[in-house]
Structure 1
Amino acid sequence: MTRTPETPLPSPKECRRLREAQSLSQADVAAALGVTRATVRSWENARTTPRGTNRDAYVRLLTGAQEVTPHQENPAPALVGAATGPVQASLDRAEPAPEPPSETPPASELAPEPDPELGPDPAPGPEPELGSELSPEAEPEPLSPSLTPDQAFDALYAFCAPALVRQTYLLTGRRELARESVECAFQLAWYRWPEVAMDRDPAGWVRATAHEFALSPWHRLRPRHRNPEPPPAAPADRALLDVLLQLPPVYRRTLLLYDGVGLDLPETAAETEASTPAAANRLLHAREAVATRLPELAEPKELHRRLAEVASAERLHAAKPTTVRWGGEQRARRWTRAAIAFTVVLIGATTLTLRTAPDHYEPPLAPGATVHGVPPRVAPGPLSAEQLALRAKLKGETVSGPERLVPEAG
């Protein structure tokens, strides 16, 4: 049987250039091909490759053989634009692929794409829009070079911080630690802003940093983290959070990224620094552990909805971007001053050592030598005749002897 050759596919960089040349967003391509925006992004990032009919349709779309009309109505700016302010035009507010409302939830649910290794996910009925509680409505493209660094950072923070606080709360179960993790991640992003601004996925960079900080094992040594925080008020939310916190950290993070945030399996594996089969096994074991304790959450769609509800019930609020930037700058100043002080102390210690250390060679003392010309001590033994006579004489003159022996009374 002869196998039909696959359609030649341009390089990922060329695919992105062809898409932008036609003024199409990733969401437009996803809507035309019937896939998710995350899948199109993974194609352009060379993480996955389209196959079969998707590959043929993708090539025809990029080469202009199939015309796609961009969406005229885009609800994302109305939801996110108020948070980004004047830099709204610098971000790509792409509308997710439209789906039948009677069979699948709206795109804002950010449901994960069915994966062959995990089995198809059943389509639930209509549900309220809760996906924005865990992940942004649309992911920002590389920021416009016309923006100042402060404006670009504020736009990224306003776009990602609210969802990141809720994600880290599901990872740790601690409200203050969730806020602190997000602030530290953005402070590090501001410190390394040139690198973050040029990254393909700045939101993913900050998300990975916040998750790693939140799951650091060193937090258990901090005094204020030894006492547990009050659990959620609702019994159902408390039960789900308790099940999540009993999972190993890597399983918990994989479950949150795939079933909560909506990343596909290769992206989840890349962010957790694992292979795709390992990430799939972690996800399956995490789902099984949740389904064992909470059978009503055996369906991935229901689990996604419940994760969003638990995250949104706490009403966690992130700090203002100006406060985070100011805190990052203050932290950088403190570290700089500490480094300068340590350098000055090191230079002073080195200088003192050089000043007090000997500057010439001093040979060691020679070992002891025998002194000549001194008569040796007489060893104990029998007295000679002269010594015996002298001793007898001295004994005889002890009472009336010289004054040096017996002093006279005055």
Structure 2
Amino acid sequence: MTQSPATPLPSPKERRRLREAKSLSQADVATRVGVTRETVRSWESGRSTPRGRRRAAYAKLLAEIANERTVHDKRSVRRPSWAKDLESTVDAKDGKSPARIPVGAAMNGHVRPTEPSVRTTGTGTGTDADTDTATTTAAVQAATEPAPALSTAGPTPAEAFDALCTTCAPGLVRQTYLLTGRRILAQESVERAFQLAWQRWPEVAVDRDPAGWVRAAAYEYAMSPWHRLRPTHRQPDAPPATAADRAFLTVLMSLPPAQRRTLLLYDGVGLDLPETAAETEASTPAAANRLLRAREAIAERLPEQAATPEALHQRLGELCSAEKLQPPNAGRVRTGSEHRARFWTRAAIAFTALIVGATALTLRTAPTHYEPPQSPGKAISGVPPRMGPGHLTYQDQILHKKLREDLSSGPEKLTPQAR
């Protein structure tokens, strides 16, 4: 069961790119739309979606900015970011460009810059640099865009979703395991994230980075503080097999959740600093500070391991590839998502019917007019107490006994007797 949005909006990263292209701050956008700065930050990070009039006003503002950029840009068609990342990765493999180098497939084949410098460009994303993710994005776009004339039909939404799940689920499960240190929670988080993606597939399919959308949903579910209340999570998970992996995972779990997520996104997944800050809902200086503190903590507790970006990226890949994690099945995810949506829909209908029935019963049994309550009783002074007849004397008792023994009727009562 899918639901379509009322007003189309660009992806969260495209919203941030348009705002920065117009040289607007989040406070300026919040003032124009009529919301707070924190709300605009949540919209740009993908944690929340505007609704109603705010959605229409936000979409109108972004459309105006996009039209202004189109007028000044001579190119009418912009190449997607995943195509540029794919070409840069292929060139790096061929030795044409030393700026980006491919790494192992342990972290789903994401690439990392050779230098830990911050990329200031805000027009592209670095999350879908591998060939599989680029293929998935192309399949998603082919499923959502209308097919040209005299051409074969593209993949169906179910096929595009299955391609996305098959491509991104294995690496995302490993990343979530590094984020939580629990195997079952990592698999559950990824499965719930893909179920949410299938429920909102019209929105996810047109997103510029579907894999990033699912990754953000999985991270948010995995880092929820409510998991600590579950009985199954009160006991620690089984540690890795080797002593080096156990020591590195212990240090990684000792980091605060915000620093751990920033380290995983930058040194593990391969995002640049602005993208990492946007996904973690923090400013770029705050994300850089978290990254530096995380590296310092690892270097302090594990001095034998160099805390360089390349070393950390390789170490994270080795740690997650050593675990045998089962990714969710795409068909089961779609079925479970539909069952969950159907269940909650029926529960909402039943709860609404219960409220309507209770309201009708209350209206039926409620009084139709006002009845003033009776005032409580009060003691009145000056009134003599009620007096009854006193006790019978001995003579009165004899007389009563004689009267009861005599005949109450008959001729004897009518004939006078001489005494």
Shorter-normalised TM-score: what interval? 0.5 to 0.7
Alpha carbons 1:136, 1:163 under 8 Å: kept: no
Residue of structure 2 equivalent to 1:377: 384
Matched, 1:302 2:311: yes
Q: What's the Cα RMSD here? A: 4.0
Q: After the TM superposition, which of the residue ranges 252-261 and 297-306 deviates more from structure 2? A: 297-306
- CA shift, 1:95, in A, is 3.0
- CA shift, 1:228, in A, is 1.0
Residue of structure 2 equivalent to 1:111: 112
The structure 2 residue matched to 1:403, chosen from 398, 401, 418, is: 398
Alpha carbons 1:117, 1:280 under 8 Å: kept: no
Q: Distance in 2 between matches of 1:355 and 1:409?
A: 62
Residue of structure 1 equivalent to 2:90: 95
Q: After the TM superposition, which of the residue ranges 242-251 and 353-362 deviates more from structure 2? A: 353-362
Matched, 1:143 2:144: no
- CA shift, 1:193, in A, is 0.9
Matched, 1:165 2:160: no
1:168-179 matched pairs, under 5 angstroms = 168-179=176-187
Residues 326, 310 of structure 1: CA spacing in aligned structure 2 closer, same or farther, 3 A cutoff?
same
Residue of structure 1 equivalent to 2:348: 339
Residue of structure 2 equivalent to 1:316: 325
- CA shift, 1:217, in A, is 0.8
- CA shift, 1:208, in A, is 0.4
Deviations 1:112-150 (A, max 9, x none): 4634479xxxxxxxxxxxxx9x98754435521332110
Alpha carbons 1:99, 1:106 under 8 Å: kept: no
Q: Distance in 2 between matches of 1:238 and 1:182?
A: 23
Residue of structure 1 equivalent to 2:289: 281
The structure 2 residue matched to 1:237, chosen from 239, 245, 249, is: 245
Q: Distance in 2 between matches of 1:359 and 1:187?
A: 50
Amino acid at match of 2:355: L
| DSSP-derived class of the 1:165 partner | helix
| Aligned length, in residue pairs | 306
Q: Distance in 2 between matches of 1:214 and 1:197?
A: 23
Q: After the TM superposition, which of the residue ranges 291-300 and 186-195 deviates more from structure 2? A: 291-300
Q: Distance in 2 between matches of 1:24 and 1:194?
A: 20
Amino acid at match of 2:90: E
- CA shift, 1:16, in A, is 7.7
Deviations 1:350-384 (A, max 9, x none): 11101100123335558989x9xxx953799xxxx
Residues 408, 344 of structure 1: CA spacing in aligned structure 2 closer, same or farther, 3 A cutoff?
same
Q: Report sequence identity in percent.
A: 55
Matched, 1:26 2:26: no
Residue of structure 2 equivalent to 1:329: 338
Alpha carbons 2:227, 2:233 under 8 Å: kept: yes
Matched, 1:350 2:345: no
Residues 331, 252 of structure 1: CA spacing in aligned structure 2 closer, same or farther, 3 A cutoff?
same
- CA shift, 1:300, in A, is 1.6
| DSSP-derived class of the 2:141 partner | coil
Amino acid at match of 1:377: P
Deviations 1:262-313 (A, max 9, x none): 0000000000000000000000000000111112132221111010011010
Residue of structure 2 equivalent to 1:268: 276
Q: Distance in 2 between matches of 1:195 and 1:408?
A: 107
Alpha carbons 2:133, 2:211 under 8 Å: kept: no
Q: Distance in 1 between matches of 2:264 and 2:75?
A: 29
Alpha carbons 1:251, 1:282 under 8 Å: kept: yes
Q: After the TM superposition, which of the residue ranges 263-272 and 329-338 deviates more from structure 2? A: 329-338
Residues 376, 163 of structure 1: CA spacing in aligned structure 2 closer, same or farther, 3 A cutoff?
closer
Deviations 1:200-244 (A, max 9, x none): 211111000000101111001111111111100011111111111
Unmatched 5+ stretches in structure 2:
1-67, 105-110, 120-126, 145-153, 406-419
Alpha carbons 2:189, 2:219 under 8 Å: kept: yes
Unmatched 5+ stretches in structure 1:
1-9, 32-93, 119-131, 381-390
Alpha carbons 1:269, 1:276 under 8 Å: kept: yes
Amino acid at match of 1:161: A
1:47-62 matched pairs, under 5 angstroms = none
- CA shift, 1:173, in A, is 0.7
Q: Distance in 2 between matches of 1:232 and 1:165?
A: 16
Matched, 1:251 2:259: yes
